[in-house]
Chains A and B, each alone.
Chain A
Amino acid sequence: MSVLNLRLGAFAAALALLPATSSGALAQKKYDTGASDTEIKIGNIMPYSGPASAYGVIGKTEEAYFRKINAEGGINGRKINFISYDDAYSPPKTVEQARKLVESDEVLLVFNSLGTPPNTAIQKYLNTKKVPQLFVATGATKWNDPKEFPWTMGWQPNYQSESAIYAKYILKNHPNAKVGILYQNDDYGKDYLKGFKDGLGAKAASMIVLEESYEVSQPTIDSHIVKLKSSGADVFFNITTPKFAAQAIKKNSEIGWKPLHFLNNVSASIGSVMKPAGFENGQDIISSQYFKDPTDAQWKNDAAMKAWNEFLDKYYPEANRADASVMYAYIVSQGLVHVLKSCGDDLTRANVMKQAASIKDLELSGLLPGVKVNTSATDFAPLSQLQLIRFKGENWERFGEILSGDVGG
């Protein structure tokens, strides 16, 4: 009985103290669910298992990066509590996990969830709940739609604007080209294809001689390459993920097909595409980039690359440094930290979106020189700049200006 009384007494004392301590602070500090004086809860959903599990490394890198932020004192004194769940790239599972994050773990926001179908599945839910769906990890064009979905924001340059850049280049430099296209039969491949056709405009029908598609479950795409060669195309737009991109480059040289080769940014990695395909087979391939390829020797002494390596040495030593996803995650995590820092002590969901939508010329470690993050109340596409690159020797050579190809959602 005495213990109980003691507890009650302590409780009453605490209650009495509560207004005294909080009334002063309340003036500046505002919190929504998921944020407090000591921590900020961030939710995340990644395909750690299943067909897209290669991207799970993004979640692991982010987790490591937030550990680094916490070790360095957190954000305005608050620690990041990063809760990341597996959805195996299956939309019904994504919905379950998103609801768990919002209703059970009570996170402040959902950050950088991966994939177009999984994000589409939870977009409506998060917007009705008014939970920020911040910096989604997909290049689909539809995330830049602040009117319909004011709680959803994209991150990377979208697929359609990228292929529009290639289309513009072809129209300008090779107006009589015969184009052959190989694309992955899913949302990503079809988005690229649409942007390319829109970019070519009225000439699309006459310029494109063959469109070939493949399934991600196929072991090889060799037969498609042979078919593309026999179509007589002299420009090849290669919309494939790294494994298939390397196969395509190799096969091209094996059968002696030498078109002007455009490779999508998804596979513009030296370590995971150009090297396995053989440097001699990849000469003069054109692609585009917005962040530094860590396997590119030209960045060896770059300050950003050194910082990146130090971070990995300390917090994620087992990371595969040839994997572009690691760099991607490093950059997007900095983006989130920037937004949370600028929120100050007003950690409400509305303020998170407000801060995310007012980024001006932000430069992040790892982005190409000249590429900046910009958002506004009507522009929910943080990164929209790219630079064309051409493969020479064993490196990507940047050429031309930084290009911007904003395509609205």
Chain B
Amino acid sequence: MSAVEEVTSEAPAVEAVPKRAMTLGYGTSLVVLGLLIIAPMFLKNFFVFQMTMLLIYALAVLALNILTGGSGQFSLGQSAFYAVGAYTSAILMEHMGVNYALTLPIAGIICFGFGFLFGQPALRLSGIYLALATFALAVAMPQLLKLGFFEHWTGGVQGLVVTKPDAPFGLPISQDRWLYYFTLVIAIGIYVASVNLLRSRSGRAFMAIRDNEIAASAMGVDVALYKTLAFGVSAGITGVAGGLGAIAVQFVAPDGYTITLAISLFLGMVVGGVGWLPGSIVGSAFIIFVPNIAEHISKGLSGAVFGVLLFLVIFLVPHGARQVAIVAQQLIGKLKK
């Protein structure tokens, strides 16, 4: 244990990111936002659906980014929170007839509570031990969803089919476009809130804990509270993403929320850049589109091709999209001169 601690204290797994570097400038933000608003108008429904999934996974990656990049805690259990959110939305919609938009805050609150409670025992663990504990959560979740006890609600192994909402007020846009803009509004809301959270007093406390726990507590930061809080916030956002995912996919089943999902989200975070919130959408694009590209290159070896592509990314740009963005910024700066 002590040996491990020495190693980790020498080279922290999560690099300290100054808070200003965690966001994009106004200009770039507006360009990205503009693209996200305009693009679906010219795309086929199928691509709109893919973009919706892109935003949803981006939210889940963002949530993990707050936890890992913000407070320095690892989690391989995000798929469990995602599943709880998805099932909460699905059950509320299908069994109780609640409006889909209302199910999302409920899914968020339930997952916040779930994450906060899970954060309590997780307090005693750190680094790789915490990663393992959350890993256990991710492995257990699909089986819990299959339990006969919950079967009346969850549909057991058969899953639950969810009805896709129509655009309200008789708006003349397709279900897919409506759902995309609905997701976009929520995603922007959560993104802005997350940026503000990390700039706030709580955010500074998260980062203080990430950088040095002992120093943080000496400064009067309630380490236990903020660590569990980070878990809760992260789980809550993941839950909202899960709920949106259930509505977009129109189906929830235990097979959709296995450990593979948790690892994908983790991968998305690393590729997007740990601690860089705008990177979440890049990471999300990576986990959605790169497997498709890999499959296109070779069907039998899609896993291996994906591995090679991932290796290249990690080898060439170890800090993910953030590194690319910084290099691009410097280049533009030079050109201006």
Contacts and interface: CB of A to CB of B under 8 A. Distances in A.
Contacts of B250: 95, 121, 124-125
Q: Which 8 A-B residue pairings sit nearest by Cβ, starting from the closest?
A: A103-B46, A121-B251, A187-B157, A117-B253, A91-B256, A92-B249, A117-B255, A99-B46
Contact of B251 (A48, A49, A89, A120): A120
Nearest to A185: B146
Contacts of B50: 96
Nearest to A50: B260
Given A99-B46, A120-B161, A124-B250, 17 more contacts: A86-B291, A90-B255, A90-B261, A92-B53, A92-B251, A96-B53, A102-B46, A103-B46, A116-B158, A117-B158, A118-B255, A120-B158, A121-B251, A123-B161, A125-B250, A186-B146, A215-B143
Given A49-B303, A186-B157, A190-B156, A120 B46 contact: no
A90 B258 contact: yes
Q: Chain B interface mostly helix, strand, loop or mixed?
A: helix
Contacts of B152: none
B44 interface: yes
B46 A91 contact: no
A103 B46 CA distance: 6
B161 A104 contact: no
16 contacts: A86-B291, A91-B251, A91-B255, A92-B245, A96-B49, A99-B46, A100-B46, A103-B46, A104-B46, A116-B157, A120-B158, A120-B159, A124-B251, A125-B250, A190-B156, A190-B157
Given A92-B245, A117-B255, A187 B158 contact: yes
B295 A85 contact: yes
Given A48-B300, A124-B250, A125-B250, A92 B256 contact: yes
A88 interface: yes
Interface string B227-255: 00000000000000000010001111111
A193 to B, nearest CB: 11
Q: Chain A interface mostly helix, strand, loop or mixed?
A: helix
Contacts of B46: 99-100, 102-104
Contacts of B45: 99, 103
Contacts of B299: 48, 84, 86
Contacts of B161: 120, 123-124
A333 B225 CA distance: 60
Contacts of A116: 157-158
A95 B302 contact: no
A46 to B, nearest CB: 9
Contact of A121 (B47, B249, B261): B249
Interface of A: 48-51, 84-86, 88-92, 95-96, 99-100, 102-104, 116-118, 120-121, 123-125, 185-187, 190, 215
Nearest to A49: B303
Contacts of B251: 91-92, 95, 120-121, 124
Contacts of B53: 92, 96
A186 B155 CA distance: 12
Which of A49, A84, A120 is the most central at the interface, judged by chain B CB atoms within 10 Å of its CB? A49
Contacts of A190: 156-157
A121 B253 contact: yes
B276 to A, nearest CB: 26
Nearest to A105: B46
A88 B256 contact: no
A99 B179 CA distance: 16
A88 B302 CA distance: 11
A91 B260 CA distance: 13
Contacts of B143: 185, 215
Contact of A120 (B245, B253, B258, B260): B253
B157 A91 contact: no
A313 B303 CA distance: 27
A187 B158 CA distance: 6
